[in-house]
Structure formats: structure tokens, C-alpha cells
Structure 1
Amino acid sequence: MSKTDILYENVKISETLRQLHDKGISISLDDFGKGYSSISYLQDYPIDTIKIDRKFIKDIDSEIRARSIVRSAIFIGQEFRLNIVAEGVETAAQLQVLRGLDCPTIQGYLFSQPLLEADFAEVLSRQLLLPKEKITNKEIATLSLQAKLTIDRIDDVPVKIGSSVIMVCRTNLKNLTFYSNICFPVKEEVEYRLTVELTDRFQ
């Protein structure tokens, strides 16, 4: 289902979609995040799947804003217990970032362009479809990294509290950013300690 303004407060469409849904037909919302009304559709219509718009996937490995939007869309989908699909995945770098954000399903040319019936049957017969672009362990390490973060000192006074698992991502050649399910304070008097896993240990 393409997300257009015709869906907005359309009672007839809402009733039709619910009838289809009751018959076991899954409803997918395309181009999620592109319009202001995307979130309201999740409340008004029986949506089963959201497909995150390719606009945000395009620069997800290099733009912090695009990555933040995708992360928020994935969180919303998880909260609503929906299937989540990222559209327009064309590079291994994009795939790796989406893996780090716990995106369960992708769609795009990374594995294959649309195929004719005969070609599609041949792919199915192989029972294996490899990505067009391979990613090395070295590249994976530079794209995202799991770590642990804790508050080490407050006003130069050592503190001992638990740590939170975070995902560290590269935003460009000079900067890093991290994602956490905890809102950490941004204050000069608070010092953090980040622990990175090397081989089988955290150091």
C-alpha cells in the first residue's frame, strides 16, 4: 500500500483494509517516514509491515541524521510489533549499519535486481543468493562496533555503577557516535568509560 494523502481519515479505505486484514491478507505501508502522517496510519489502519523509505537508507552509513531516523522507525515498528523492511539497500556498508540497528529485513539491489521469471526460477533452484558486494572483517570493524559504557566519575569522584551495551558507529573520518537505550547526561562534570571488546574480552 503506497502511503498517499488519500489515506488520511478515509473511512471507506479503513473499513476495506480491515476486511482484507480479517481475511488473513497482510497490509504493508510503503515509504514509511517520508510523510508527516506515517505514524498516524499505524494507529488508524491494520498495518502489518512498514517499509522504511529508501531516502533514509541511501546515506545511512555516512549521515547521522539518516541513521537516527531509521533507528527511530525501527523502534516504532518494534513497539507496534510490526514487520520491518528497509528499502533500497545497495551496499554492504548499508547492510552492516542496518544489522547493528536490528533491522530484520532488507530490500534492494545488494543481492539482486528484479528478475524475469526464468531467471528467478534459476535463482530459486540454487537455494542460495550471495550479495554482489562482499564485506571484509576489517570493513565491519570500521563501520560499527559493540561496546560497553558506564559513568566513571562525577565531579572527579569515582563512582561504581553498571554498564550499558552500546553500538559505536563511524560518522566520518574524524568522528564517532554511539547508540544506547539509556539517556546519558551530557555534562562536563560527568566522565564516561567506554570498554571495547577485543577478541573474547572487554578492554
Structure 2
Amino acid sequence: MSIDPQTAQAPLGITPSQTIGPFFAYALTPRAYGGSELATGTVAAEGVAGERIRIVGTVYDGDGAPVGDAMLETWQADAQGRYNAAGNAGFTGFGRIEATAEGTFQIETIRPGPVAAPDGTMQAPHLSLSVFARGLLTRLTTRIYFEGEAANAADPVLALVPAERRHTLIATSQPDGSFRFDVHLQGENETVFFAS
């Protein structure tokens, strides 16, 4: 390490990472503290153009126990594959969802359309998902794709994931019409996470 001869001080280094919690989690999930439900899980209000869908799931830790204080954030395109689309009132593309005490969550939104990648190839409809939870040094980022979507076969990001691990990124169709997507933070069924 060099010292600046004029100030006789060492230069500032990189601030080390800290875990997300549980040191001071107050208001991270407002419902847990009797606050209003700011993190309702509704990404697209009623009346927004597109097929309405519901995604349900549970966040699990490395031991398979539910994580009851996790918070999730989603980001997605609208039904036409546009982000921040003007004229699509009630749709922001962003959602914040707090897990229940049992680790469950629910996302109410519209099915996103295909989105062009920077190189022009088309990405399959998906939601980007960030997970914040106790013990994590930083958020974890993944994607939610949809079972039965033909465009999954040509998605450039999904193609980077080994075939035997892709199922961890695909929400499965349920008998009630919803999709199920569980998040496994560690372990044998660990969800594939991407660098953010």
C-alpha cells in the first residue's frame, strides 16, 4: 500500500461487503412489523393489457427450511416486450414482494412478451428476479421462464445454463392456472443465479 506523501494518509480502500441482515431489517418487509403492505406482489394492476398470470412459490434456505423474512423484486417487460412502455397505465414492470412467515410469495402480473437482446436475438418471455434475505452478502439475481414456452429453446441466456440445471429457472404450470416457482438459495436443488 502506498501512502500519499502530502497528506501522510493511506488511500481509501474498497468498503467490505456486509450481510443483508438480520442486523437491522426493520421495514425491509413492512408487514412483519405491522406496517402497510407496500410490497403487495401486484406488478400489473387490473386493466393492464395482457394475459393476467399469478406466480406462487416458496423461498428455501440450504437446509430446505422456508425463509420467512425474504424480500423479492421483479422486473419485466409488458405483453409487447417493452420496458417502461408509454401509454400502458397501471404497469411499471417493477414489483416488490415480501415472503410470508412460511416463506411463500405470490406475484400478480401479466405474461411478459419476448424481448430483444442487445445483439438483436429474441429472449423468451421472462421475469428478472432479485432475492434479498438474511445471511446474503448481496442480492441474488435469477430469471423466471415459463413451462411450455416455445421461445425457451432459442433463449440466449437460458442456453448458457447447463441443460440439467435449466429446470431451476422454469415456472411450472399448476392445475389452478397459476405458475409455481420455488427459490432454493443453496443445496441440491439450488436455483441458478446470475452475476449482477
TM-score, scaled relative to structure 1: 0.22
Q: Greater helix percent: which structure?
A: 1
| Higher RCO structure (Cα 8 Å, ≥6 apart) | 2
